[in-house]
Structure 1
């Protein structure tokens, strides 16, 4: 077997493993979101991850992948529908990866699945099931792919040299902005705020699920970030994995310390969210920064995210799993961070953008990163608002008060995730 054939086989195996890790993150989201919400909605919250990924799979195959990576213009791809290569240039934006097209698709499908899972955090415990079908399809076809094309598919932000190695903006900020728009249009859950607008605590029903979900996401992130190299030959995927892990560890410590300082309690869910926020932040920067900078980025994201979660709640925003803080604020911080911390040697290795301000690179990369964040947030926010506002005025976004009080498990699906605890009939029989 020739060296080129061996390299092709090894790269293909690695991308397949990475794709499985990223797709497996859906299990992490199911656990962390179910654990962070109430028992009466647990089956619904967990089950919609399968629904969500199924919608994303079909919509991304039909059109989303083509708009993201297909040959087109600086705004959108216009070729490659149904994963069909009409010419050798159809998916030229992915030519740098020496693996089969099917694997490129599966790996990128995992990313859009994660972004959509993040968006659903803003819908939790009060949105109609029908909204998931409609908005999920539109998000996968008209929202996510456009920003993906701008940055990764040969679009205008990629041409500017924007550094977003694995998607702090493309994946996480997009999902978070959509979640924020949904949260605002849906309004807070019943009982979340008092008449004077002070918030009430609505604790999740299972912290163990939350922790397990966080661990699964941490492990899956090695596929997310390190897998984005799509190659094993030079071993660079190991460096990306290193910076990813260091950031996550720093985020955990910083978040639990921030919780202790700000609330007097070493909050476990806050620590888990600190890990996730740090992972979100390092996702853009993992290939561009030195290990010490990864620790700084992770620690900042973990601590700052906890503070912002308290801040938004005080402002009357009911974000049940803090999707915008964890994935939005941290996504912004991580994307901007390369404008400060991008190392010249790593910029040379990746061939993307310029060195950061702290390495004498001036403000150029910082400006590019800021433009990217603002452009992505504006587009996602505007389209999400238009779509969700239209749905609100037509079919409605939110279940009735009676359905919300009884729980989405029973009102939307006809059975509880924990029937022995919540079904009065079974309780009567048990007595």
Structure 2
């Protein structure tokens, strides 16, 4: 491979790494905007912690747990720390798509995303210490083990023999559902926020304090997805990257429009938050098969993801789970949908592929639910995961952090 192409590939992957990093600002804005002002510092603290600890954990052992080299397909470990070896900086590494260092950093950004999904679902009532312990174990161990089963050359990648098995291009299941399953377990164990469900059991709206920030967060996330999916081509291949960016954008747009229209039909109002979550649902839905779909198929996947979002948000409320930002609907439900869509649409569609996709969803779902439950129940019985009623009413910012995101606003209230 010529040096110029190797350099171009690596530069593209570094740009994508930066875009995925930028997604953490989008997640922060979205979570802040959809929750109350008294918990703003708490949410920002969690998101900054996730990035910092996620990268360090991935450096210490996560990268080598996820990409162990030759292993039994279920669990392997290539050792602590980072070592590029003889070929890590040459075109012999990763077929010239990027260097070893770029590989580590790009994948490290993905690792942190799974815990960020949980952060939004448990917002406004989780103990910061308990959440930090959970993040360390889940990002440090659970995420890379699951990732090794597919992206590390494990058993899911070879379900169909040499033809390849389970397909998850950029992580509808391996990132989004991994976070979504943990969010589901965490929300169940935590219980709803005070006032979320009335005495009659009917869900009560708890409005977010800054919808403009939430909208900015979603648009930043959409931009970041160009790196999330575009970088998953694993080179600057013109045909691959341009197709993936088109399918990603069309699914996002279709998801937003269908969620907006479907929620209008059901509730007779043009709900911006549903519109925004529809965009995210479309993005999560296309992530598993962005490299396989035509523009038409991308739009169909997005449209159905938007409809699923509206239904899933209502279902989560109906079963009395409290998810302030809709993380379960977006990342779990649409993650499952996007993974199944690979067996229904696109270049790999077929009964065998659908079986591989269902197998991957089932195995990863069971593993994530069991591990998340064990981690969280131990924390609940020891350090605790839920703040006191007084702390929740007054806000986590003052009680957990001793500061206020909007001190002038609070002073003007008195």
Unaligned runs of 5+ in 2: 160-164
Aligned residue for 1:293, secondary structure, equals helix
Shift of the alpha carbon at 1:185? 0.4
Hey, what does 2:137 align to over in structure 1? 138
Summarize deviations over 1:123-181 as a string: whole Å, max 9, x none. Answer: 21011111232111101122111110011001000112211000000000000111111
**Distance of 2:194 and 2:291 partners within structure 1:** 43
Q: Does 1:151 align with 2:150?
A: yes
Q: What is the CA RMSD across the aligned residues, in angstroms?
A: 1.6
Q: Which residue is 1:351 aligned to?
A: none
Which of 375, 389, 402 is matched with 1:414 structurally? 402
Q: Which of residues 275, 280, 287 in structure 1 aligns to 2:279? A: 275
Are the counterparts in 2 of residues 7 and 233 from structure 1 also a CA contact under 8 Å? no
Indicate yes or no: 2:41 matched with 1:12: no
1:383 aligns with 2:371: yes
Q: Once the 2 structures are TM-superposed, how far is the Cα of residue 38 of structure 1 from its aligned partner? A: 0.5
Q: Give the distance between the partners of 1:259 and 1:150, measured in 2 at CA.
A: 38
How many angstroms apart in 1 are the aligned matches of 2:238 and 2:312?
39
Q: Which one of 179, 186, 193 corresponds to residue 190 of structure 2?
A: 186
Aligned to 1:98: 97
Q: Paired residues, what number?
A: 405
Is 1:224 aligned to 2:228, yes or no?
yes
Whether 1:168 and 2:172 are equivalent positions in the alignment is yes
Query: What corresponds to 1:306 in structure 2?
Result: 310
Counterpart for residue 32 of structure 2 = 34
Q: 1:342 aligns with which of 340, 343, 346?
A: 346
Instruction: For 2:236 and 2:294, locate their aligned partners in 1 and report how far apart those are by CA, in whole Å.
Output: 20
Match of 1:123 in 2: 122
**2:193–2:322 CA contact under 8 A, matched in 1:** yes
Check if 1:113 corresponds to 2:119. Answer: no
Confirm or deny: 8 A CA contact 1:30 1:47 kept in the other structure.
no
Residues 235-267 of structure 1 show CA distances to partners (whole Å, capped at 9, x for unaligned) of 310110000000001001001001101111110
The 8 Å contact of residues 226 and 245 in structure 2, kept in 1 or not, is answered as yes
Secondary structure at the aligned position of 2:7 is classed as helix
Structure 1: how far apart are the matches of 2:32 and 2:327? Answer: 14
The equivalences for 1:197-236 within 5 A come to: 197-236=201-240
Q: Structure 1 97/413 Cα, relative in aligned 2: closer, same or farther at 3 Å? A: farther
Q: Residues 278-357 of structure 1 correspond to what in structure 2 (within 5 A)?
A: 278-343=282-347, 355-357=348-350
SS in 2 for 1:376: helix
User: Which of 50, 54, 57 pairs up with 2:55?
Assistant: 57
Give the SS at the match of 1:285.
coil
Which runs of at least 4 in structure 1 moved beyond 4 Å after TM superposition? 85-89
Higher mean alpha-carbon deviation, 165-174 vs 259-268, is at: 259-268
Following superposition, the deviation at residue 80 of structure 1 comes to 3.9
How far off is 1:46 after superposition? 2.2
- Measured in 1, the distance between the counterparts of 2:136 and 2:147 equals 16
Shift of 1:86: 6.7
The TM-score normalised by the length of structure 2 is 0.95
In the alignment, the residues of structure 1 paired with residue 95 and residue 394 of structure 2 have an alpha-carbon distance, to the nearest angstrom, of 52
8 Å CA contact 1:40, 1:422 repeated in 2: no
Query: 3-state SS of the aligned residue for 1:198?
Result: coil
- After superposition, the C-alpha distances for 1:42-69 in whole angstroms (9 at most, x for unaligned) are 1211232111111101111111111111
**Deviation digits for residues 58-91 of structure 1, max 9, x if unmatched?**
11111111111122320123104212357879xx
TM (norm. structure 1) is 0.91
2:81 match: secondary structure = helix
Alignment correspondent of 2:386: 398
Q: Which runs of 5+ in 1 are unaligned?
A: 344-354, 358-362
Q: Is the 8 A contact 1:23 1:113 kept in 2?
A: no
